[in-house]
Structure 1
């Protein structure tokens, strides 16, 4: 381990130092300041004679007299099953007042790509207890399903609800061993107020016992935000593939992560890409998202729910745009639904889960799940179109059939999507509500559902009550 006092430049979060021997990319660095503080950093770029170092704690207090030590290894995360129930900062240090972590092993935070040949196709249902997700955009084990939100929308409340309620009902019913469920919560660039809300909720509901929380606050260095999700995912991979947990990783807010990428790119004077973001942002995000999945022969799984706030509610912005290319769908939160008091304000029409068809149906949920979802989607979409028409011609100009679809759209939002953040619905409860709503439509309009299922689940009394009310 060599020590240098050859700092030549300090620029934003970067320190440049001269060296007389090769230094490895991503190598961990310790910088000792004149006042005795030791700061950690990582080699960002290495060329002959000079290296650039990104400093996790920020470059405040560093001058040209500081000592630079290269440790000869990349950053590693100390992992152990005892991490469950712990709260760590964005660099992986305990901040909950508990004991120091005694690791079973130390793992490189960059991780190893899952061999495509060894990947198992995701098809086991995860129950979040949220009808708009379970019923219409089902999450399956090993999937990466982001939440696209906007500034001021309650995505944090939805994230906490999923963290509290997520289960694997199939294995719970079978009583299988090795089906423990764990949540890894990685927060990047959140405010102290948000952090307190998260921790209060975790402690109040007891969800912390099966969780590992990583907290990077808004006043923490932006550089640390690049490390936080990698520490979280390294912990998730250990629990999933070594300890057989089914791990749900919630990362919020990916927009803050990408802003940190842009800040560092500007400090390095890189040629910017779209809207000033680095040209390699797609690759960088893929390195994170593709760490979700299942491995053949392993009991555990890593499922990801990244959350991002779309700047200006623009879904063509580079961050949601690139995220959509990499992931298997998206859950869209809607400002209009939020203003109506719908909780959670999930708009199911632009939402999508590309793996839903493989995670529902006989043996996974109920055999009517797919048909009910398709029929509700079609009926709600028609009701939405009719709302636009009503604004022009008025409701009196609509036919009796059109009025029923208009009523369906209203009741779908008020009874199916609306459930509050403390209600945990099983998939059976979700589908029963769906049948209650569909039974308000004539049987002849249920053209996406098998006739046998209609005979089994259609509620005649609902249909008759609606007709009496109309008269």
Structure 2
């Protein structure tokens, strides 16, 4: 029989401290019953021989020293079944969509673990997001972790929804394994308005049918925010490695998650690290991000797109800084492009996908993909540099060649990056738009493209604006 304690000594923020007379396991689940009969769930955060610190998921409001504490003898587990697809859950994994109770096929510990490096399979299969700035220039591959670096007031949520709605594994890239595609969407600390926008879009587009949504709102307890991504990733691992799905996990906003860590650390009176965040934040984030990947002998995969808002637009802030160390690149949302009306406002120059080169090319996307990407990067970068020069000497002082690069930089933003949030482009269409832009340059300037591709795709009579691009 489980022992019940009435030995609460202190309540501090989201934490409850209680005396015990026997060992209690780290991460063990706790039930706290208040004097008016309400039950709260919690988790052991720290334990000694005679005292435990408990983080309470539903908040400590209403808990006093007369409340009883009962240790359940197990860690927090997620109820798992394939029927979770199409369901909406709160941040602690409880259904909030009015649907039936979850009847699990199995229950798994949410803490999980990084994939054994020996068992990892190298990520090199293309995932098509339908967004040209990502597919063409910073390609996402199965098993990768590729964060989106945004900032307050920028439309990262619109981009997240577009990716969730459009992301697919192209049929020719499935190797005949028959794996299906699923999306796990974990929202942490979002407003009720944002939650309504997410759900309206999921239901309107039908994306909910292949998705599992976890919602932790801004007025929910901060402690629950530390559980939400682990719930989402445990569900993803189950679908990927036991049901053979290719799973895309979108986590927004990791900044709110890190703020919850800081709040809990302050309540525990820990010695703070950089800017008040816990010194173990790097380890904590790595425990989440490293759960992405592929396992040898398994058809499924877990791919992560964490989204974070950089405080003060500062990419040296601890949250983006540590995230950049752990993950395999980043996609930057740019404030200047957003003010110009570019949708989505992705700045491809500081963006990076470290695994891109292994996920593109003949048999994966198109044989000319890598060459087009390299040439577009070089041409757009040169155009950007020339914009600074124009501010000093004026456009009239530039050569005809320089003016062509300036025009290409403008058209790159207007026709390649700009596509709207409702337009989906397959990889062939994205690369053809790239050729359309490169054809504005003389052939001799295309020094990063193989001759056979130039002969096959270069428009001798000048660019032909693709109809889809013009509509966008």
Band the TM-score falls in, shorter-chain normalisation = over 0.9
Following TM superposition, the consecutive aligned residue runs of length 4 or more in structure 1 with deviations greater than 6 angstroms are: none
Q: Distance in 2 between matches of 1:358 and 1:310?
A: 29
- Quickly say closer, same or farther: Cα 1:63–1:21, change in 2 above 3 A: same
3-state SS, counterpart of residue 72 of structure 2: strand
Does residue 48 of the first structure (1) align with residue 18 of the second (2)?
no
- Counterpart for residue 297 of structure 1: 297
TM-score (norm 2): 0.97
Q: Counterpart in 2 of 1:103?
A: 104
After the TM superposition, which residues 151-230 of structure 1 pair with which residues of structure 2 at under 5 Å, given as runs? 151-171=152-172, 176-230=176-230
- Mapped contact 2:177–2:299 kept (Cα < 8 A): no
Give CA-to-partner distance per residue, 1:65-92, whole Å, 9 cap, x none: 0000000000000000000000000010
Q: Which digits, 9 at most, give the CA deviation of each residue in 1:151-182, with x for residues without a partner?
A: 000000000000000000045776x3532000
Instruction: State how far apart, in whole Å, the 1-side matches of 2:128 and 2:461 are.
Output: 30
**1:48 to partner: Cα distance:** 1.6
Separation in 2, partners of 1:152, 1:283:
29
Give the alignment of 1:455-470 within 5 angstroms. 455-462=455-462
- DSSP-derived class of the 2:216 partner: strand
Q: Is the 8 A contact 1:441 1:463 kept in 2?
A: no
Structure 2 unaligned segments of length 5 or more: list them. 466-472
| 1:128 pairs with 2:129 | yes
Which whole-Å CA distance do the structure 2 matches of 1:6 and 1:264 have between them? 21
SS of the aligned residue for 1:215 comes to strand
Structure 1-normalised TM-score?
0.97
Cα deviation digits, residues 342-383 of structure 1 (max 9, x gap): 000000000000000000001000000000000000000000
Contact in 1 for aligned 2:173/2:364 (Cα 8 Å): no
Partner of 2:308: 308
Counterpart in the other structure of 2:470: none
Trace 1:67-78 onto structure 2 (pairs within 5 A): 67-78=68-79
Q: Does 1:432 align with 2:432?
A: yes
Secondary structure, aligned partner of 2:421: coil
Partner in structure 2 of residue 444 of structure 1: 444
Structure 2 vs 1, CA of residues 464 and 100 (structure 1 numbering), >3 Å: closer, same or farther? Answer: closer
Distance 2:250 2:68 in 1: 38
1:81 matched to 2:75? The reply is: no
Alignment of 1:239-250 (within 5 A): 239-250=239-250
- Residue-by-residue CA offset, 1:380-436 (whole Å, 9 max, x unaligned): 000000000001111000000000000000000000000000000000000000000
Q: CA 1:137 to 1:85, structure 2 compared with 1: closer, same or farther past 3 Å?
A: same
Instruction: Name the structure 2 match of 1:405.
Output: 405
Q: Does 1:259 align with 2:259?
A: yes
Instruction: Report the alpha carbon displacement of residue 289 of structure 1 after superposing the two structures with TM.
Output: 0.1
Give the aligned partner of residue 272 of structure 1. 272
CA distance in structure 1 between the aligned counterparts of 2:241 and 2:280, rounded to whole angstroms? 29
The 3-state SS of whatever aligns with 1:366 is coil
Q: How far apart in 2 are the matches of 1:171 and 1:49?
A: 60
For residue 73 of structure 1, give the secondary structure of its aligned residue in structure 2. Answer: strand
CA distance in 2, matches of 1:300, 1:409: 39
CA gap of 1:458–1:64, structure 2 versus 1, over 3 A, is same
Find the residue that maps to 1:380 and give its secondary structure.
helix
CA contact (8 A) 2:158 2:421 kept: yes
Equivalent pair of 1:442/1:463 in contact (CA under 8 Å) = no
- Aligned Cα root-mean-square deviation (Å): 1.1
Q: Match for residue 140 of structure 1?
A: 141
Q: Which residue of 2 aligns with 1:364?
A: 364
Shift of 1:255: 0.1
Shift of 1:113: 2.5
SS at match of 1:294: strand
2:417, 2:464 → 1: CA distance?
Answer: 24
Mapped pair 1:338 → 2:338: yes
Is the partner of 1:116 in helix, strand or coil?
A: coil
The answer to whether structure 1 residue 7 and structure 2 residue 4 are counterparts is: no
Q: Which residue of 2 aligns with 1:58?
A: 59
2 CA distance for matches of 1:333 and 1:231? 27
> How far apart in 2 are the matches of 1:368 and 1:415?
19
Show the counterpart of 1:377. 377
SS at match of 2:462: helix
How many residue pairs match? The answer is 464
| Change beyond 3 A, Cα 1:339–1:464 | closer
The alpha carbon displacement at 1:464 in A equals 11
* CA distance in structure 2 between the partners assigned to 1:125 and 1:418 by the alignment: 22
CA distance in 2, matches of 1:346, 1:261: 29
In the TM superposition, what whole-angstrom CA distance separates every residue of 1:304-363 from its partner, at most 9, and x where no partner exists?
A: 000000000000000000000000000000000000000000000000000000000010
Q: Is the 8 A contact 1:172 1:179 kept in 2?
A: no
The answer to whether 1:37 aligns with 2:69 is no
Show CA shifts across 1:18-61 (max 9, x none). 00000000000000001111000000000121000000000000
The question of whether the paired residues in 2 share the 8 Å contact of 1:342 and 1:418 is answered with yes
Once the two structures are overlaid, the 10-residue window that deviates more, 104-113 or 330-339, is 104-113
2: distance between equivalents of 1:454 and 1:178?
A: 36
Q: Name the SS of the counterpart of 1:319 in structure 2.
A: helix
